[in-house]
Amino acid sequence: AAPEFEGRIRTAPTLDAALEWCEERLLADADAAPERVTLASFLEAELADARAVTVLSEAFEPVAFAPGEALMRQGAAPDVLYFVADGKVTARLERRDGPPLRFETMEGGSLVGELGFYTGRSRTASVVADAPTRAHRLTREALERVTADAPEVAAAFHVLVVRSLARRTGRLMAVLEAVQR
């Protein structure tokens, strides 16, 4: 929920909502347009193998999401992961006793849903499009086909996912450290 004016003071239901509103205003004032990233450019930057880029690009299927549409729902089977090309999505914990709790907002160039995809556990959060979003979906079956047909490409993709998870963990740890100060 967006902060509301009370005279000259803005209020928000949570500290996170207030900070997110401030971040959005700062980015809008800076006229920072999100970078457009294609699946191929992402894979080329992460992998040094043109064949791997081709094989993986063919394994992913393009999809589009309207604002408010879920890429995945909390509790659902972890049978897909997504690469967000452009747009904005938010991972959030759905709660019975209150509004959703935002975990992370991600824009173009992000892998989404890889943790559940690899652990096989039900989705621990929902991921919802905040804006019109173009993404690419990789199903478990498509990755199994890549593994059978090109095991070296699948291995390179697994390393890519590990690096992505490590970067995200590092960012989240930095946020946690900042909050604890």
- Is there a contact between 112 and 62 (Cβ–Cβ < 8 Å)? no
Name 118's Cβ contacts closer than 8 Å, sequence gap at least 6: 161
Predicted confidence at residue 79, as pLDDT, reads 95
- List residues bridging with 167 in a β-sheet: none
Mind listing the pLDDT tens digit for each residue in 24-79? 665 555 555 555 789 999 999 999 899 999 999 999 999 999 999 999 999 999 99
Mind listing the pLDDT tens digit for each residue in 94-108? 999 988 888 889 999
pTM for the full predicted model:
0.79
Confidence of residue 180 (pLDDT cuts 50, 70, 90): confident
